[in-house]
Structure 1
Amino acid sequence: MTPPTFFAVEYAINPWMDTSTPVDVARAVDQWQTLRDTYRRLGHTVDIVEPVPGLPDMVYAANAGLIINGTAIVAQFKHAERQGESAAYAAWMGQHGHRPVATRHVNEGQGDLLVVGSTILAGTGFRTQPQAHTEVAAITGMPVVSLELVDPRFYHLDTALTVLDDTTIAYYPPAFTAAARSRLRGLFPEAIEVASTDAYVLGLNAVSDGKHVVYPAQAAGFAEQLYHAGFHPIGVDLAELLKGGGSVKCCTLEVFS
């Protein structure tokens, strides 16, 4: 995780960002700290990557890459405003025993590359290029399932789909093409389908350890669905960071080994 020390909405590269809306950095830091403390309270290790001035979106650590089995596939960002984050995160990855590897095509890390069991679900349509999916499959040796997004509010896969455990997901069907929905139904016939009310507060931008699901607190309906499915939902308010188009998962780069 990276603290939002330099968080700001200085440009607009997704529909959630409005440069005329003021940002309360102190409040953003407090909300981020609550998320960090929640993970620690659940027994998880949280490593901190130092923020870099001039990179206001660096708080969205999930986009930094995909770290799995000692290899770190470093993000290649679509927008120039975020490209400086790649070097900062690659340096941290290398210093912490992960082998940094670059793709030739645009990939935005765990924003669009979500591990479920032995498979990677890979988003495309707005940021990550489909050619990067092929590269990720070759680097990891894992099957990659491409899923096309069609609603710009859900510009990354992690805004429209949550991995809950090795066999279970939750997702918002209208965010995907008909072909992608068909793939998801075939792979996950028992998936939780989330309503618009929860999707529109980025309720699916959540993190699960297989039992506890840390989710944006405004997504009350999703929390109820999780409870009835046997998970333990834990709501965290990240409303200030939502102004940049991210929430719980966006702030969390998971390391898979």
Structure 2
Amino acid sequence: MTPDKIMARRRFLMCRPTHFAVEYAINPWMDPAAPVDVDRAVAQWETLRRTYLDLGHRVDEIEPVPGLPDMVFAANGATVVDGRVVAVQFRDPQRADEAPAYRSWFERAGFEVFDPKHVNEGEGDVLLAGDLLLAGTGFRTAHAAHARLQEVFGRPVITLQLVDPRFYHLDTALCVLDERTVAYLPAAFSPGSQAVLRRLFPDAILATAADAAVLGLNAVSDGRNVVLPVQATGLASALQERGYVTIGVDMSEIRKAGGGPKCCTLTVRETTAVREVAR
């Protein structure tokens, strides 16, 4: 155990990749001509789920819907802060039917759900860092959607412009490690957004292009433990030097659709007042 890092127990929502496939190309990672091993994808996903459980986190599951191969990427299903949920509106028609499925899950679970009003792809582009909402735009989530987040959650929203199509969601280019620290790839952001990140997070960990190329930043941190793609060895070493415990998982089959651990993981934040913390 690293004494200066505090683990916050999380509640996650995940979707088993029962119907996983790469049938279309809506990001540069996807090649419908490349073979996909569904059994291997399920096994990798199951290892990720078990990793969270072994760390003491709670994992809920949403039922996968036939015909929605990208529904495994639960992070895109909503943004959840303080028990409030902003539903999603996907840019691409191939994913449109995921939105009502995720909304229905949260409504049945008793959450207050708000309409998105603009294209908004959930926690793929919206990451909570302390009191701030870091909000990506440029490829998927519309800039206009950021105002909706501020109105619903009542938190400052920091707009970050993504410029590299390989890193089409914020969670592929930046990982929130704890309330004060992030890791990110500078080249994935516009010059202005790089300046904002330097000002907000002067002690950030800067990822290399090689680690970003295996979606190393598509990681999940509980404040002490960081679950990240096992191929991101440089980033893992940098995290360890800062006192984080790293857990590498192989998500290479799921990466064929452009996702990693974070894409498969939606954080369900019920309240900020009630928070179970383990030291």
TM-score range (shorter-chain normalised) is: over 0.9
Distance 1:74 1:103 in 2: 5
CA displacement, residues 155-176 of structure 1 (integer Å, 9 cap, x when unaligned): 0000000000000000000000
| Contact residue 67 and residue 98 of structure 1 kept, 8 A | no
Give, in angstroms, the shift of residue 108 of structure 1: 0.4
Unpaired stretches in structure 2, ≥5 consecutive residues: 1-13, 272-279
Q: Which residue of 2 aligns with 1:196?
A: 209
Q: Which residue of 2 aligns with 1:126?
A: 139
Give matches, 1:35-46, under 5 Å. 35-46=48-59
Q: Return the TM-score normalized by structure 2.
A: 0.92
Q: Which residue of 1 aligns with 2:264?
A: 251
CA displacement, residues 3-26 of structure 1 (integer Å, 9 cap, x when unaligned): 000000000000000000011000
Paired amino acid for 2:26: I
Question: Quick one: which of 79, 82, 103 aligns to 1:69?
Answer: 82
| Contact residue 70 and residue 97 of structure 1 kept, 8 A | no
Q: Which residue of 1 aligns with 2:11?
A: none
Identity between Structure 1 and Structure 2 (%)? 56
Give matches, 1:131-170, under 5 Å. 131-170=144-183
Unpaired stretches in structure 1, ≥5 consecutive residues: none
Does 2:192 correspond to 1:173? no
Give matches, 1:106-117, under 5 Å. 106-117=119-130
Higher relative contact order (CA 8 A, sep 6+): 2
Give, in angstroms, the shift of residue 96 of structure 1: 1.1
Distance 2:114 2:94 in 1: 21
Q: Which residue of 2 aligns with 1:59?
A: 72
Q: Which runs of 4+ in 1 moved over 3 A?
A: none
Does 2:241 correspond to 1:228? yes
Higher mean C-alpha deviation, range 220-229 or range 99-108: 99-108
Paired amino acid for 1:185: R
Does 2:260 correspond to 1:214? no
Distance 1:224 1:237 in 2: 17
Distance 2:234 2:109 in 1: 39
Distance 1:100 1:24 in 2: 35
Distance 1:228 1:189 in 2: 17
CA displacement, residues 187-233 of structure 1 (integer Å, 9 cap, x when unaligned): 00000000001000000000000000000110000000000011000
Question: Quick one: which of 105, 115, 123 aligns to 2:118?
Answer: 105
Distance 1:92 1:16 in 2: 29
Distance 2:143 2:157 in 1: 10
Distance 1:102 1:244 in 2: 27
Q: What SS does structure 2 have at the residue aligned with 1:72? A: strand
CA displacement, residues 132-177 of structure 1 (integer Å, 9 cap, x when unaligned): 0011101100000000000000000000000000000000000000
Distance 2:202 2:81 in 1: 26
Q: What SS does structure 2 have at the residue aligned with 1:121? A: strand
Distance 1:95 1:227 in 2: 40
Paired amino acid for 1:34: T
State the superposition RMSD in angstroms.
0.5
Paired amino acid for 1:159: T
Q: What SS does structure 1 have at the residue aligned with 2:26? A: coil
Paired amino acid for 2:32: T
Q: What SS does structure 2 have at the residue aligned with 1:59? A: coil
Tell me how many residue pairs correspond in the alignment: 257
Question: Quick one: which of 21, 25, 44 aligns to 1:12?
Answer: 25
Q: What SS does structure 2 have at the residue aligned with 1:76? A: coil
